[in-house]
Structures are given as structure tokens and as C-alpha cells.
Amino acid sequence: MLFDAHPDFTGDFLCKPTSTGAWFVDIEELIHHVDAVAQFDLIGLTEKELGPSLLERCQTLLRIRCALSARGRETPIHVFGCLDPATVLAYFLCGADVFDGLAWLRFAFREGTPIYHAAAIVADGAWSAYDEDLVMLHRVQNLYWLNEQQRVMRAFSRGHVFADLETMGGLMQQVVPLVRAAGLVVEE
């Protein structure tokens, strides 16, 4: 395999739709070949190719994680194109492990909710500050938020105690009904 010759590099298998004109990854085919795919260091999927709705994307991630677990595999799932706090938390609870995206640059996060920079400027009452300064400030604040979210998710990963996610506050109240609807059993 290519990565055997380059042990310092991580292999991320990017799953793509296999049928001509298909918009989404064929989950049945992926699960059928999950042992082969799990030989890579990560299983990658783009957010939009997981399914046509947020609920179906969560269900797809749960099915992949369950298929991996049934085979004794702990291969991390990488979701490309997702880095807003609410969907990261939902996908994380449904079995995803690695996230990347540009939302943290495009929006200001307020208690985990992405809002446009202009709306954040109005909400913050920073009307006379220069836009470029505030956009940079929002990016720094977003990095702090993402770092805190990462810390909380790591704590949850160690013990699977939902109380570890309490600092996500209102975000958890929004995400729990979604992941329950996707099929995750959440005991509070």
C-alpha cells in the first residue's frame, strides 16, 4: 500500500459516491467494504455526501460507527466541510472523530451558534470599530470556542459521561433531540 512506504504520513480514505450522478455515498456499499476501508488511518466523508438532511447524515454516521464497532474497529471518521459547533457536536455524538471546515472563518460564534459578522457587530454594539478588526477578533474568539469544544469532547470521549458536555449549554439542548431522532440512546 502507498502509505506503507511512507509511515510518517496518515492515510485518509475519502469515500465518494460510486454511481454516476449519485449525490451521496452508498452507505450499504461502504458498510460491505468497511474492513478494507478501515485499514486506512481515517475514513473520510464530505458532510454533504453523507445524506440529504442533517438527520440522515447523523444516521449515516451512526451506521458507519456501528459497523466498525461490530467488527472491532475503532478507525476514526473524518467529516470534511464541517466546523460549526452544533453539527460538530451532533456528528461527534453519532460517531465522527475528526472535523474540518471554514465556518469558523465565515461567521462569529455566539454560544456555539454561527451568525454573520455584521450581525455580531450589531449585537456587540461595536458599531464604530473597523470591520476588519472585528472580523479578526471574531476569528480569535471562535478559535477559543473551538478549543473549548475540543476539550469538552475529549473529556466526554474518556468516560462517555454526558455531564462532561454540560459546558456546551444551550448547544446540547439543541443537539440531544437530533441525535436521539437519529437513533442514539442518550441517558441524562
Q: Is the pLDDT of residue 174 over 80?
A: yes
- Position 2 confidence tier, pLDDT thresholds 50, 70, 90: low
- Rounded Cα distance between 116 and 5, Å, is 45
pLDDT digits (tens, 9 = 90+) for 25-41: 999 999 999 999 988 89
Q: Is the pLDDT of residue 1 over 60?
A: no
Among 24-33, 65-74, 170-179, name the one with the lowest average pLDDT.
Answer: 170-179
Q: What is the pLDDT of residue 8?
A: 82
Q: What is the pLDDT of residue 162?
A: 80
- Rounded Cα distance between 56 and 63, Å, is 10
pTM for this entry: 0.91
Q: What is the pLDDT of residue 97?
A: 96
Question: Any idea which residue has 456528528 for its cell?
Answer: 91
- Rounded Cα distance between 60 and 148, Å, is 27
pLDDT digits (tens, 9 = 90+) for 3-27: 677 778 887 888 999 888 889 999 9
**Distances in Å between the alpha carbon of 173 and those of 106, 121, 129, 169, 186?**
24, 26, 34, 7, 12
Q: What letter represents residue 182's amino acid?
A: A
DSSP β-ladder status, 12-14 and 42-46? parallel
Angle between helices 54-70 and 85-93 (to 10 degrees): 30
